[in-house]
Amino acid sequence: MNIIDLLSDTLSLPTDEMYASIAEAELGDDGRFTNNQGEDPTVNKLQELAAEKLGKEEGLFLHSGTMGNMLSLLTHAEREDSIIVGEKAHIFTNEKGTFDNNCCGFRPVIVPDHEGYLDPQALERNLNSTKASLVCIENSHNFRGGTVIAPEITNAIVDIAHKHQIPVHLDGARIFNAAVALKTDVKLLVENVDSVMFCLSKGLCAPIGSVVVGSQTFIRKAREKRRIWGGQLRQAGIVAAAGIVALEKMTERLSEDHELTTQLAEGLSPIPVFNINTQKVKTNILKIRLDNSFMSASEFCEKLFHEHKIRIGAVSRNEIRIVVYRGISHEAILEVIERIKNFVDKRKAQR
């Protein structure tokens, strides 16, 4: 029985065109700063393309999204400053160094984000009572099931923050998924935030890399932070080349992942131990609530892989996350539905 791995879209593989671009990339030393830019021409092209696509002044190429978010926070704020984040934000729940006293040492101010975005009233109350240096938001929202945030909601949150003269950073690891799901230009989703990090890997299929975009002043400061924190790169065009292909060729195909995720949700929703709101499935992430009386989410995922070779992940005691990406076919989705149904039926029959 073959393994079908739906743990994360970080498993997406580069395209043939990406491999070819890597072999042909023009290289230089991105760590050397000349005439207000690094010396790797391919990295410079990627950064310019990223800034143009998101409507910002400049971009900075980094090896990971976690570093991109961390450097953005370090650029906007000082160590031990208070930073407002959603209770399920990836920056808060998974990127541990950001709020670790031995690392960045930021102090989290938690605001509810049940619908995938900060509750505006709670945000206003916190800004009135807390001296915060930054507000962080996320789109699409990973642990809220790939929820997408419409421009008007983002703008309302930004307006509240800016009224208090506080900048807003957007963790946009999957911002292109959100743009495709909303059928809108990605620029409209980020036009009023002060900085954005997005991943070239995940659904866009580049092997490595993320980009932070923002104002020229912000990016120049972030570049210096990158050097201090050991993120300086040399002949990085060898991976930036694949990132260019990702931005030019791979954004619109994300709709294929979204359609397969919806198909998966509809196929799994009749299973009696699952609670799936198919109307909320918008992108390539499916969140399933599992009946507590059946088994825990972690036990479910472990036994499912052991018996049926489907790899998915538990994100809480009774919640499961499934992620679709390029390389997962229509046939694979049908196979996943069938194997999970068989697994649940067998377990229920044993009771």
Q: Does domain 253-349 have CATH number 3.40.50.2300?
A: no
User: Which helix (DSSP H) or strand (DSSP E) does residue 237 occupy?
Assistant: helix 237-249
Quick one: pLDDT band at residue 348, thresholds 50, 70, 90?
confident
**Residue 95 structure tokens:** 């990127």
* pLDDT tens readout for residues 203-234: 999 999 999 999 999 999 999 999 988 888 89
pLDDT in tens, 69-79: 999 999 999 98
pLDDT score recorded for residue 101: 87
Going by C-alpha positions, the residue among 138, 71, 134 that lies closest to residue 108 is 134
How crowded is the C-beta side of 320, counted as CA atoms within 13 Å? 27
What string of DSSP letters covers 303-330?
Answer: HHHHHH-EE-EEEETTEEEEE--TT--H
Q: Is the pTM of this model over 0.85?
A: yes
Outline which parts of the chain fall under CATH 3.90.1150.10: 253-349
Q: What is the pLDDT of residues 127-145, one digit of tens each?
A: 999 899 999 999 999 999 9
Burial of 183 (0-12, 13-18, 19+ CB in 10 A): exposed
25 pLDDT above the threshold of 90: yes
The pLDDT value given to residue 293? 87
The residues of the chain that CATH labels 3.40.640.10 are: 14-249
* CATH architecture for the domain at 14-249: 3-Layer(aba) Sandwich (3.40)
Q: Summarize the chain as % helix, strand, coil (round to 5).
A: 45, 20, 35
pLDDT tens digit sequence for 233-281: 899 999 999 999 999 999 999 999 999 999 999 999 999 999 999 999 9
Beta bridge partners of 343: none
Between CA 11 and CA 324 the distance in angstroms is 10
User: pLDDT (tens digit, 9 = 90+) per residue, 325-346?
Assistant: 999 999 999 999 999 999 999 9
Reply yes or no on whether the pLDDT at 286 is more than 80. Answer: yes
> What's the pLDDT score for residue 267?
98
What confidence tier does 26 reach under pLDDT thresholds 50, 70, 90?
very high
Q: Are 181 and 208 in contact (CB under 8 A)?
A: no
In this prediction, residue 294 carries a pLDDT of 92
